[in-house]
Amino acid sequence: MRHDGLERLVDANANRVREGLRTLEDLARFVMDVPETARDLKGVRHEITAAADRLLGPTSMARDTAGDVGTTNSTAGELARPGLVAVAEAAGGRVAEGCRSLEEAAKVLDAGGRIATAIQSARYAAYDLASEVTVALSRGRPTGWRVQVLLTESACRRPWTEVLEAVIAGGADAIQVREKDLDPTRLVERVRAVIEIARPAGIPVVVNDRADVAVAAAADGVHLGQGDLPVEAARRVVGGLALVGGSAHDLDEARRNHAAGCDYCGIGRFAASTTKPDVVAGGPTLVRAMSETFPGWPQLAIGGIGLENIDQVIAAGGVAIAVCEAACDADDPAAVVGDLRNRLQQASESAADAGMTA
């Protein structure tokens, strides 16, 4: 055995890469149900194993778990994942880091460079496959949302189907079906009818409050209020790939949603709102506090937001909103949604440009 630790380095990183690839493989196989991707990931895993064996022989000979000073090192982020996308991202990161270390070690251990070249090829293939899994799991996720429309028939000036078609044409990123007065059977029927219009346009549909209805109607997820099912319980009902959003009226409620793994958080109310008349308005202060406390976590400012105060949301750091009456009760829902979305998108792009030049 060499005395410079390279055998242990190769052993540890080969193991890290295999674990990451196996996680991605299982996601492709059991969650995404895409056998071709699972097969390709398995192939890369075997290539890495073969390369490590060519460098050292059986890698277990170099293993010294008890003597490894890094086995007890961990961070809080390693102990919790907010969802399957985060699992895929973490697995992909492990694969990329491990392959790079293996490739560099191979340049020392194999003078001909053939093994390093093989590992490099496997690394590039792993990058593409990890990205494929992550993107597939992220499809329809709220990271890039700007406007979610809460579709409520009683708030619609025109027939709800016309309003739905209009807000989709205007650029709505998601539809939340919010019908508090419909019984479960009628609500399932309504959600299915919304999905029939929205899904061909690629617009996800979530159901307010009712995880059971979301499953029965094959919706994309559920949005939970503070008095609804706990997030963890709802996740078990709707499944790991479904969206689970949560409402928060202050930072404490937001922290609970974040810790429970909500995919996004609706924060507010922002201003006076007929949908939440009994909730104290948090206004720009709450939006600013949320964006500072949870950077990177998708957040929708909600409650009384429209064209007249969207600039206040933007000035407070808000990048996405949920609206009901502003769209449903508008003369031209498509124009309202389009205007709101454009303003939010332009503000987000300007902020990104400023960050790049700072």
Q: Domain containing 311 — which CATH number? A: 3.20.20.70
Q: Are residues 92 and 29 in the same domain?
A: yes
User: Does residue 177 fall inside a structural domain?
Assistant: yes
Tell me the C-alpha distance between 251 and 23, whole Å: 34
Q: Which two tokens stand for residue 358?
A: 């700072």
Q: Are residues 349 and 310 in the same domain?
A: yes
pTM exceeds cut of 0.75: no
Q: Are residues 181 and 103 in the same domain?
A: no
Least trusted range by pLDDT, from 19-23, 94-98, 351-355: 351-355
* Nearest-5° Cα angle at 21, 17 to 26: 150
Are 138 and 85 contacting, i.e. CB atoms less than 8 angstroms apart?
yes
Tell me the C-alpha distance between 330 and 324, whole Å: 10
Tell me the C-alpha distance between 327 and 331, whole Å: 9
Q: Are residues 151 and 130 in the same domain?
A: no
Are 108 and 33 contacting, i.e. CB atoms less than 8 angstroms apart?
no
Least trusted range by pLDDT, from 8-17, 78-87, 217-226: 78-87
**Number of structural domains, the chain?**
2
The beta-strand segments (E) located in 5-141 are none
Average pLDDT over residues 24-38: 89
Tell me the C-alpha distance between 231 and 246, whole Å: 8
User: Does residue 353 fall inside a structural domain?
Assistant: yes
From its phi and psi, is residue 57 left (phi > 0), alpha (psi between -120 and 50) or beta?
Answer: left
Question: Containing domain of residue 295, as a range?
Answer: 142-357
Amino acid symbol at 39: R
Mean pLDDT in the chain?
A: 88
Average pLDDT over residues 77-81: 61
Q: Are residues 182 and 244 in the same domain?
A: yes
Q: Is 212 exposed, middle or buried (0-12, 13-18, 19+ CB in 10 A)?
A: middle
User: Does residue 76 fall inside a structural domain?
Assistant: no
Q: Are residues 146 and 134 in the same domain?
A: no
Assign 59 a pLDDT band (cuts: 50, 70, 90). very low
Q: Are residues 130 and 157 in the same domain?
A: no
Are 302 and 325 contacting, i.e. CB atoms less than 8 angstroms apart?
no
Assign 348 a pLDDT band (cuts: 50, 70, 90). confident
Comparing C-alpha atoms, which of 341, 286, 343 is closest to residue 168?
341
Q: Alpha carbon 300 to chain centroid distance?
A: 14
Cβ atoms < 10 Å from Cβ of 75 = 6
Q: Are residues 346 and 299 in the same domain?
A: yes
Are 8 and 62 contacting, i.e. CB atoms less than 8 angstroms apart?
yes
Q: Are residues 230 and 101 in the same domain?
A: no
pLDDT at residue 358, as a whole number: 47
Tell me the C-alpha distance between 4 and 356, whole Å: 41
Higher pLDDT, 7 or 213: 213
